[in-house]
Structure 1
Amino acid sequence: MAVPTLRQLEYLVTVVDTGSFTRAAEQLHVTQPALSHQMRALESAVGGPLLERLPRAVRLTPMGRAVLPHARAALAEAERLHRVARRAAGLEEGELEVAAIYSVSLGILPPVLRSWRRRHPGVRIRLREYPHADLLQAAMAAGRADLAVGPVPAGWEGPIRELGVEEFAVVLPADDPLAGRSTGTVALTELADRAWVHYAPGNGLADLLDQFCTQAGFHPPAAIRAEQTSAVPLLAAAGLGPALVPANIVPPHFDGVLLRPDPPIRRTLAAYTRTRPDPVTVAFADLLARQARVDPGAARTCRVSGGDQA
């Protein structure tokens, strides 16, 4: 018989405490199918059903009521063990300096920083932001941060940990003639006669847009150049011109449409250090690798109302 894992016990406790598989999945940052799969695995391990799904709630079975106190006790003991280990590793207090390109600090870092704050409230994060990957790499080489997060650095001699693939999307206004196409894709050549929402000089995303448009056979004229990376998808959705953005920086509610470029535009993101990282840096990199939302399915078609690059 399989032995229940701490993660499975955490899932059980969270479902019971939230009263819902949906709310538990949101709190645990997992999908509902993944949560349901782990709950079935736990029930298989203990030899019987633990939860009964009702139309608007979940209810513990008799076996579930017997198992729940032990699950809570096991999680509490594991947390005590983690506290001892964190004290030994220096994770109870201190400061970690993280450097990132603008788009990373907008897209993948916020949920990671939120989780870090909950897990290690005594370890402060100092975030340094850079508009271009070259500036990020130079700052890291100069010792201005403990960990850098951005595109994979060329020629870097220190440790590098790849985080995943970030996909780019083209942003158009909701009433654009191309917005309603069923394929959800657009070739950059279809936008060759448009003036673009561009990035200010010095922003690495300006280089990236120019690079891929040049490969498509045209130069993208600028209708407007934005100093702030976060403003670009909003300006495009407002109808000032198409924009090319990392899909994960687009806010969940905005008046616009995201289309996947055809062929796709992607880049690999990584976390890197100068030397072998200390335990605090390793812990942050581990959390980043687990929670960073940089996957090839990130770009999406949506319509909601209401060198390297930065």
Structure 2
Amino acid sequence: MPLPPRVADLGPYDLLLSVAERGSMGRAAAAHGVSQAAVSARVRSLEAALGVTLLERSPRGTTLTPAGALVAGWARSAVDAAEALEAGIASLRAEQSSRLRVAASLTVAEYLLPRWLVALRTRNPGTAVSLSSQNSTDVAADVLADRADVGFVEAPTVPDELDAQVVARDQLTVVVSPDHPWARRRHGIDAARLATTPLVAREHGSGTRSHLERAIGSLAEPVLELASTTAIKNAAAGGVAPAVLSSLAVAPDLAAGTLVAVPVRGVALHRALSAVWHRGRPLTGPSEDLVRIATGSG
């Protein structure tokens, strides 16, 4: 849907955060490479658009009003998300000669990698990153073929020629539309029921499908096979069939009530997300930094 006019442009909110952090418009202007008058004008325009006073100006500096503190707190996550979006887009636009080539599964690329790239850019601002996003099987193939320096996969196993390190944990979640009969089951379903129910599923080779098949043992022929997480969520929400997706992917939909999580008895749907690289070639430089950031140790 179209963004509301008052939040369509994040630039003034970014300036507001800089003024709050630095205590003056002059220092905020210097940090952004613009004039103090330009900062003042944009903040005043924001105040006019919102209908509230955001800053208290005095000879000793500039501070947030109570309303300004609330707006700044709400804006922080949006500005951080915009920075993560920019980092992800920059990696997609990078030339093939980039110093760090990253391949990532769809779940990792969409929900985890952007903030890792922001942290990497802070640590190594001169590092150019190129990113390819595909299913876990293709990620492993890219690393093996030297088309990627490091990969991130969801699959439960990786080829013997690759080294792997767990960088995060995830859980697969069964989701249905609010009108589906499973949505009214207080105690959910058992693993056998899940195994015999045709699902909306990812394609063969995806980490999500591989892990589910390994956990359940066998699955019914899917109603639909789709390569897009968004398409699968839309199909499940529309009542086509249940789906099994990463908890990272469905969290916003569960909060909004467009999907309902269904507990599953008798099977563990936890999984590890791993970094992979060519065996015998230790990680160095930016690739090592990225993996350390992903594990939370860097």
TM-score (norm 2): 0.57
1:168 and 1:261 in contact (8 A); partners too: no
* Alpha-carbon distance change, 211 to 152 in structure 1, aligned in 2, over 3 angstroms: closer
Q: Which residue type is aligned with residue 188 of structure 1?
A: A
> For residue 223 of structure 1, what is the amino acid of its counterpart?
V
Q: Is the 8 A contact 1:137 1:153 kept in 2?
A: no
Question: Contact 1:238/1:256 (CA < 8 Å) preserved in 2?
Answer: no
Aligned 8 A contact 2:170 2:271 in 1: yes
Structure-1 separation of matches of 2:250 and 2:158: 27
In structure 1, the gaps of 5 or more residues are 1-13, 20-54, 59-93, 292-310
- Residue in structure 1 matched with residue 248 of structure 2 by the alignment: 248
DSSP-derived class of the 1:123 partner: coil
188, 191, 204: which one aligns with 1:188? 191
Alignment of 1:55-134 (within 5 A): 95-133=99-137
Q: Residues 140-219 of structure 1: matches in 2 within 5 Å?
A: 140-150=143-153, 151=155, 153-154=157-158, 156=160, 159-183=163-187, 185-191=188-194, 194-215=197-218, 219=219
Q: CA deviation at 1:287?
A: 1.3
More helix by share: 2
Letter of the 2:239 counterpart:
G
Q: Which residue of 1 aligns with 2:54?
A: none
Decide which moves more: 152-161 or 124-133. 152-161
C-alpha distance after superposition, 1:105-161 (max 9, x if no partner): 22322332344345544322211223243x322321221111111146545456532
- Compared CA separation, residues 203 and 280, structure 1 to 2 (3 A): closer
2:283 aligns with: 277
Higher relative CO (Cα under 8 Å, sequence separation at least 6) belongs to 1
TM-score (structure 1 length as normaliser): 0.55
State the partner residue of 1:258. Answer: 261
Cα distance in 2 for residues equivalent to 1:202 and 1:240: 23
Which whole-Å CA distance do the structure 2 matches of 1:18 and 1:161 have between them?
40
- The residue number in structure 2 matching 1:229 is 229
> Which secondary structure does the structure 1 equivalent of 2:130 belong to?
strand
Report the CA distance between 1:17 and its aligned residue. 3.6
Residues 18 and 163 of structure 1, relative CA distance in 2, 3 Å threshold: farther
Amino acid aligned to 2:175? V
Tell whether the 8 Å contact from 1:98 to 1:128 is kept in structure 2 after alignment: yes
CA contact (8 A) 1:213 1:220 kept: no
Q: Distance in 2 between matches of 1:145 and 1:187?
A: 40
- Supply the distance in 1 between the matched residues of 2:276 and 2:214 (Cα, whole angstroms): 25
Judged with a 3 Å threshold, the aligned counterparts in structure 2 of structure 1 residues 261 and 95 are, in CA distance, closer, same or farther, namely farther
Any unmatched runs of 5+ in structure 2? 1-17, 24-65, 70-97
Task: Give the letter for the 2:166 counterpart.
Answer: E
% identity of equivalent residues: 23
Letter in 2 for 1:101: S
The aligned counterpart of 1:239 is 239
Let me know the Cα RMSD of the aligned residues. Answer: 3.5
Q: 1:127 to 1:205 in 2, by over 3 A?
A: same
**CA 1:107–1:187 in 2, change beyond 3 Å: closer, same or farther?**
farther
1:39-76 deviation line (CA, Å, top 9, x unaligned):
xxxxxxxxxxxxxxxx9899xxxxxxxxxxxxxxxxxx
Partner of 1:137: 140
Measure how far apart 1:172 and its partner are: 0.7
Paired with 1:199 and 1:273, the residues of 2 have a C-alpha distance of: 24
- In the TM superposition, residue 188 of structure 1 has moved relative to its aligned partner by 3.2
The size of the alignment, in residue pairs, is 205
Shift of 1:259: 2.9
1:278 Cα offset (Å): 1.6
CA distance in 2, matches of 1:104, 1:149: 7
Change (3 A) 1:115 1:238: farther
